[in-house]
């Protein structure tokens, strides 16, 4: 057929994205756990038959940027495929991110495809399951090796030729604390895949495979063109910055992240040489997370006109030191790498680019997902429970606006869990859920306010918190002040104890956990503004070409 027109290209961009969006609606409406049903902690995407990302819904950035690695792992390990196959995996070293993120990948075949045919598409979903086993409820422990974090699933066919693999299904459910919930959430993912496959085939039936194929190829090329145009608008040069992660031991030295972003013509390379070696805790990340963070930063710079597909990543390159914190090797623990290190990667990349784009880059947001997991046994039912949530905070102020308050920033895009849903599902009371007044950084534009969430447990629980920005404040830009650092507090028998960024505790019934998230950094100077002491590292070094 002739070259797709701009109008038809825009139509197909939304058609492909609508597949992923409807998959997400199905998954959220049919899931069992509050983390997936209420917080929408999942992502869906559509891939070409060769495994290239074609379209994604506006779900979780850290999921979507890393999901192509999962699809490629499924293709490498589980081909050939037949109609009705569904591959499951969560191994971070084979395409995953961290173990609670369970990814399903399904081929989509033409209805009359003869045996041995190749898929027309793949559809994929990634959902954060509130427990996948391991040493602590919620599967986000203070781990030192991946085996402590839960069940590791390499790419394997959960469903083969439309028949569920009961042995694999039983293996998963026998290694988690809440098997009924896991079964329900997995079934919801399978339902989403059925919807995705049906919608993809409806598009082929309506427009014909040749037209669909031509528009898919054109969209990949167009996304690359837009991405290169965005990069070409950045002043060429080398821009360096550093930031730090907070180890589990509050007395230990901070963990440095260093990057040099090189912009040349229409390509961009992020070189993380100089970043710390692999962590003895769980802040390690795999390459897919780093690539995801860089892709997210480009997406922010580009605005809504950039199609979210594989073409957008073509002008980007990442340089990592093998075995470092950002290119960890098995059996390094990775539970916090996906949620906390990914946030710091975005911070350090924006900090590096701020001198090149002073009228565009905002100050640092809260820089953490404030991960809270807890579990125990419900005294009313006698059944075990496990819960996971992340918590919003302050967004960084920008050149033209203040930062938003009480929102998830950057690599997290989940909702909060409604108080009613939380108290209905678990033995606890939410005694406070409010903005932290005054926590946003001062400046011409103020940073957003953090949140305070106080949970009173009505049964004994084991609680784990994985957070950042408790020792180091989110930095301001262009003279703006830093946001307030976060705080973690536990109260037992009216005695309050301040706790570090990361901890695990066994709490009795009646104990209260208070998580207070950081505020965002301010942007620009303001006369007579109250200035907090600057805790963040020094200004970025810039070497222009």
* pLDDT above 70: percentage of residues in the chain: 95
pLDDT at 303 over 90: no
Of residues 1 and 222, the one with the higher pLDDT is 222
* pLDDT above 90: percentage of residues in the chain: 89
Q: Which residue bears the tokens 């991960």?
A: 371
- Give the separation between CA 140 and CA 426, rounded to whole angstroms: 18
Residue 168: inside a domain, yes or no? Answer: yes
Residue 303: inside a domain, yes or no? Answer: no
The total number of structural domains that make up the chain: 2
pLDDT, tens digit, 9 for 90 and up, residues 183-203: 999 999 999 999 999 999 999
Residue 449: inside a domain, yes or no? Answer: yes
> Band of the pLDDT at 540, cuts 50, 70, 90?
very low
Q: What is the structure's pLDDT at 298? A: 95
pLDDT at 311 over 80: yes
Q: What is the structure's pLDDT at 2? A: 67
β-bridge partners, 508: none
pLDDT at 536 over 60: no
> Are the CB atoms for 239 and 356 separated by under 8 Å?
yes
- Stated pTM of the model: 0.93
> Band of the pLDDT at 527, cuts 50, 70, 90?
low
Q: What is the structure's pLDDT at 90? A: 96
Q: In what order do the strands lie in the sheet with 428-435?
A: 428-435, 451-457, 512-516, 487-492, 495-499
- For residue 374, give Cα distances in angstroms to 137, 229, 418, 497, 515: 6, 46, 17, 18, 13
- Give the separation between CA 271 and CA 273, rounded to whole angstroms: 6
Q: What is the structure's pLDDT at 414? A: 83
Which residue, of 174, 200, 223, is where some domain finishes? 223
> Are the CB atoms for 138 and 130 separated by under 8 Å?
yes
Q: Is 526 helix (H, G, I), strand (E, B) or coil?
A: coil
pLDDT at 528 over 60: no
Q: What is the structure's pLDDT at 207? A: 96
Residue 120: inside a domain, yes or no? Answer: yes
Residue 286: inside a domain, yes or no? Answer: no
pLDDT at 107 over 50: yes
pLDDT at 439 over 50: yes
> Are the CB atoms for 396 and 448 separated by under 8 Å?
yes
β-bridge partners, 124: 45, 105
> Are the CB atoms for 482 and 517 separated by under 8 Å?
no
Phi-psi region of 493 (alpha: psi -120 to 50; beta: other; left: phi over 0): left
> Band of the pLDDT at 304, cuts 50, 70, 90?
confident
pLDDT, tens digit, 9 for 90 and up, residues 465-495: 999 999 999 999 999 999 999 999 999 999 9
- First-to-last C-alpha distance (Å) of the chain: 44
Tell me the average pLDDT across 18-40: 94
- Give the separation between CA 48 and CA 65, rounded to whole angstroms: 16
- Give the separation between CA 443 and CA 441, rounded to whole angstroms: 7
- Give the separation between CA 193 and CA 22, rounded to whole angstroms: 10
Residue 347: inside a domain, yes or no? Answer: no
Q: Is 90 helix (H, G, I), strand (E, B) or coil?
A: coil
Main-chain dihedrals φ then ψ at residue 24, nearest 5 degrees: -65, -40
Q: What is the structure's pLDDT at 532? A: 43
User: Which tokens is 464 given?
Assistant: 């784990």
> Band of the pLDDT at 526, cuts 50, 70, 90?
confident
Residue 108: inside a domain, yes or no? Answer: yes
Weakest mean pLDDT among 34-43, 77-86, 313-322, 391-400: 34-43
Tell me the average pLDDT across 266-292: 96
Tell me the average pLDDT across 317-346: 96
Residue 114: inside a domain, yes or no? Answer: yes
Q: Which residue bears the tokens 């003895």?
A: 280
Q: What is the structure's pLDDT at 485? A: 98
Tell me the average pLDDT across 238-262: 96
pLDDT, tens digit, 9 for 90 and up, residues 147-172: 999 999 999 999 999 999 999 999 99
Which residue, of 223, 248, 271, is where some domain finishes? 223
β-bridge partners, 105: 87, 124
- For residue 131, give Cα distances in angstroms to 181, 474, 496: 9, 30, 29
Q: Residue 103 belongs to what domain range?
A: 6-223
β-bridge partners, 264: 267
Q: What is the structure's pLDDT at 63? A: 63
Q: Is 243 helix (H, G, I), strand (E, B) or coil?
A: strand
Q: In what order do the strands lie in the sheet with 156-160?
A: 53-56, 42-48, 121-128, 101-108, 86-89, 156-160, 163-164
pLDDT at 425 over 80: yes
Tell me the average pLDDT across 342-347: 96
Q: Which of 440, 458, 306, 453 is nearest to 377 (CA)?
A: 458
pLDDT at 59 over 70: no
Which residue, of 194, 223, 252, is where some domain finishes? 223
- Give the separation between CA 230 and CA 228, rounded to whole angstroms: 5
Main-chain dihedrals φ then ψ at residue 503, nearest 5 degrees: -160, 160
> Are the CB atoms for 471 and 245 separated by under 8 Å?
no
> Band of the pLDDT at 232, cuts 50, 70, 90?
very high
> Are the CB atoms for 409 and 393 separated by under 8 Å?
yes
Alpha carbon 136 to chain centroid, angstroms:
21
Q: Look over the chain and give the mean of its residue pLDDT values, rounded to a whole number.
A: 93
- For residue 162, give Cα distances in angstroms to 87, 159, 190, 515: 12, 6, 11, 45
pLDDT, tens digit, 9 for 90 and up, residues 130-139: 999 999 999 9
């Amino acid at each position: 057929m002739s070259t797709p027109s701009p109008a038809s290209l825009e139509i197909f961009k939304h058609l492909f994205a609508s597949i992923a969006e409807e998959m997400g609606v199905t998954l959220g409406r049919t899931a069992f756990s509050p983390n997936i049903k209420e917080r929408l902690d999942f992502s869906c995407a559509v891939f070409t038959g060769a495994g290239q990302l074609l379209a994604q819904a506006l779900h979780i950035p850290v999921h979507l940027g890393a999901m192509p690695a999962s699809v490629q792992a499924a293709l490498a390990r589980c081909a050939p495929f037949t109609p009705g196959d569904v591959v499951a995996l969560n191994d971070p070293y084979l395409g995953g991110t961290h173990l609670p993120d369970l990814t399903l990948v399904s081929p989509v075949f033409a209805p009359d495809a003869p045996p041995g045919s190749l898929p027309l598409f793949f559809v994929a979903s990634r959902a954060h399951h509130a427990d996948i086993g391991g040493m602590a409820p919620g599967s986000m422990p203070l781990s030192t090796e991946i085996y402590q974090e839960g069940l590791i699933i390499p790419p394997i066919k959960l469903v083969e030729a439309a028949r569920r693999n009961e042995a694999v299904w039983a293996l998963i459910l026998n290694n988690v604390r809440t098997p009924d919930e896991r079964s329900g959430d997995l079934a919801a993912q399978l339902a989403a895949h059925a919807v995705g496959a049906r919608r993809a085939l409806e598009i082929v039936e309506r427009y014909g495979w040749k037209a669909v194929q031509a528009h898919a190829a054109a969209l990949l090329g167009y996304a690359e063109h837009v991405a290169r145009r965005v990069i070409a608008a950045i002043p060429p040069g080398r821009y360096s910055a550093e930031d730090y992660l907070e180890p589990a031991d509050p007395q230990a030295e901070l963990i440095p992240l260093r990057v040099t972003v090189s912009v040349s013509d229409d390509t961009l390379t992020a070189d993380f040489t100089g970043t710390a070696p692999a962590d003895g805790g769980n802040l390690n990340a795999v390459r897919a997370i780093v690539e995801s963070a860089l892709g997210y930063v480009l997406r922010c710079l580009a605005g809504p006109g950039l199609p979210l597909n594989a073409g957008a990543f073509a002008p980007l390159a990442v340089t990592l030191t093998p075995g470092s914190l950002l290119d960890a090797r098995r059996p390094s623990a990775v539970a916090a790498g996906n949620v906390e290190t990914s946030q710091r990667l975005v911070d350090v990349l924006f900090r590096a680019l701020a001198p090149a784009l002073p009228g565009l880059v905002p100050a640092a947001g809260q820089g953490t997902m404030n991960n809270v997991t807890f579990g125990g046994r419900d005294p009313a039912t006698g059944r075990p429970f496990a819960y996971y949530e992340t918590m919003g905070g302050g967004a960084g102020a920008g050149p033209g606006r203040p930062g938003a308050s009480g929102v998830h920033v950057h690599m997290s895009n989940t909702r909060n869990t409604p108080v009613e849903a939380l108290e209905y599902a678990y033995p606890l009371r939410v005694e406070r859920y409010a903005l932290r007044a005054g926590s946003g950084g001062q400046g011409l534009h103020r940073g957003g306010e953090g949140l305070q969430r106080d949970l009173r447990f009505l049964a004994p629980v084991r609680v784990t918190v994985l957070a950042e920005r408790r020792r180091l404040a989110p930095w301001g830009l262009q003279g703006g002040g830093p946001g307030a650092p976060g705080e973690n507090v536990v109260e037992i028998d009216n005695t309050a104890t301040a706790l570090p960024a990361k901890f695990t505790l066994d709490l009795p019934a009646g104990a209260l956990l208070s998580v207070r998230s950081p505020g965002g950094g301010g942007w620009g100077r303001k006369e007579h503004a109250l200035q907090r002491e600057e805790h963040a590292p020094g200004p970025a070094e810039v070497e222009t070409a």
